[in-house]
Structure 1
Amino acid sequence: MQSNDIRQHLLNQMNWRYGTKGFDPEKKVAEEDLNAILDAMRLAPSSFGLQPWRFILVESASIRQQMAEAVPANKAKFENASHLIILARLNNLSQDYVDHYFNLVKQVRLQDHAAVKPFYDMVSNKGKTTPKDAINMWTAK
Structure 2
Amino acid sequence: MNLEVKTENYIENLHWRYATKKFDKERELSEEDLQKLLESVRLSASSYGLQPYEIFVIKDTETKKKLREAAWNQPQLTDSSHVFVFANFRKIEEADIDAYLDNIAKTRNISREDLKGMEDMLKTTILSFTEEEQRIWGAKQTYIALGNLLSAAAEFRIDACPMEGFDNSKFDEILELNSKNLTSSVIATVGYRSEEDNVQHLDKVRKSKSELYTIL
CA contact (8 A) 1:94 1:127 kept: no
Q: Mind listing any 5+ residue stretches in structure 1 that lack a counterpart?
A: none
Q: 1:35 to 1:116 in 2, by over 3 A?
A: same
Aligned to 1:108: 107
Aligned to 1:80: 79
Aligned to 2:49: 49
Q: Offset of 1:68 from its aligned partner?
A: 1.6
Q: Offset of 1:17 from its aligned partner?
A: 4.8
Whether 2:65 is the aligned partner of 1:65: answer yes
Higher relative contact order (CA 8 A, sep 6+): 2
Matched length = 140
CA contact (8 A) 2:87 2:139 kept: no
Q: Considering fraction of residues, name the structure with more strand.
A: 2
Query: For residues 59 and 16 of structure 1, what CA distance do their matches in structure 2 show?
Result: 25
Whether 2:5 is the aligned partner of 1:9: answer no
Q: Offset of 1:2 from its aligned partner?
A: 0.7
Q: Considering fraction of residues, name the structure with more helix.
A: 1
Query: For residues 50 and 37 of structure 2, what CA distance do their matches in structure 1 show?
Result: 20
Aligned to 2:95: 96
Query: For residues 73 and 64 of structure 1, what CA distance do their matches in structure 2 show?
Result: 11
Q: What do residues 108-129 of structure 1 show as CA deviations (whole Å, max 9, x unaligned)?
A: 2111122111111111111221
Query: For residues 5 and 87 of structure 1, what CA distance do their matches in structure 2 show?
Result: 33
Query: For residues 30 and 62 of structure 1, what CA distance do their matches in structure 2 show?
Result: 20
Query: For residues 106 and 84 of structure 1, what CA distance do their matches in structure 2 show?
Result: 33
1:34-45 alignment, distance < 5 Å: 34-45=34-45
Q: Mind listing any 5+ residue stretches in structure 2 that lack a counterpart?
A: 141-216
Structure 1 SS opposite 2:28? coil
Q: Please tell me the residue identity of whatever aligns with 1:57.
A: V
Query: For residues 58 and 17 of structure 1, what CA distance do their matches in structure 2 show?
Result: 22
Q: 1:16 to 1:59 in 2, by over 3 A?
A: closer
Query: For residues 120 and 16 of structure 1, what CA distance do their matches in structure 2 show?
Result: 43
Percent identity over paired residues: 26
Q: Please tell me the residue identity of whatever aligns with 1:11.
A: I
Structure 1 SS opposite 2:127? helix
Q: What do residues 64-110 of structure 1 show as CA deviations (whole Å, max 9, x unaligned)?
A: 12112222341x21111111221111122210110111111111211
